[in-house]
Amino acid sequence: MPGETDRELVDRARAGDGSAFAELVRRYSPRVRRLTRHLVRGHADADDVAQEAFVRAHQALPRFDGRSEFFTWLYRIVVNLSLNRARSLAVRRSVNIDDPMVEGSLIAKDARSADPATQLEHRRLAAALLEEISRLPESLQATVTLVCVDAVPQEKAAEIFGCSVGTVAWRVHEARKRLREALRARGLEEVVDRLGGDRAKRAGER
């Protein structure tokens, strides 16, 4: 089963094979949880959203027509639920340096082999960046998270959001501009390039 394609698993799941859908959950759960934790501040809420997304996907599976990949279809559900939950919470939480999202960020990873003082500084920079991302308008926040943090290709992100690739590219550009301005005000302008840079470029070229 692990070697089967998503389409094969979806077909089996639609035929009533629960183990096939369980494999899809296992396959995408880490990425879905990471995305919800970025879009919904507060891990209890984020994990609830991740679980709800899989429940919704299972319920909607009979209506999945296969015109898009399962991944993009699932991510559309995840993004919509995450933004709805974040909107209902109506809060802007600060990001602590012990937040798991900080540990998994590009900036923090860069310093894993450094001395403790440097690692701490990188975690503080990562926390500041994640905090500023959470303050962006939701369309920019979701787009920069998918493309620059989760490395989703811009074409796939366009499918997920139901917009053009050009719109995705503009959102990434606008998000990076606003992040640079916000981080400049905090004396951390160079940090935004650690988020985007080569990673964003690679995502856009896929």
CATH class of 93-206: mainly alpha
Question: Which of 90, 71, 80, 95 shows the shortest CA–CA distance to 155?
Answer: 71
Domain with CATH 1.10.10.10 in the chain: 93-206
Tell me the pLDDT band of 130, cut-offs 50, 70 and 90. Answer: confident
Q: Is 97 helix (H, G, I), strand (E, B) or coil?
A: coil
For the stretch 60-85, pLDDT in tens is 999 988 888 999 999 999 999 998 88
Q: Which two tokens stand for residue 89?
A: 């919470």
pLDDT of residue 206: 35
Q: What is the domain class of 1-91 according to CATH?
A: mainly alpha
Tracing tokens 């990873």 back to the chain, one arrives at 109
pLDDT band at 129 (very low <50, low <70, confident <90, very high): confident
pLDDT at 149: 82
List, by residue range, all CATH 1.10.1740.10 domains of the chain.
1-91
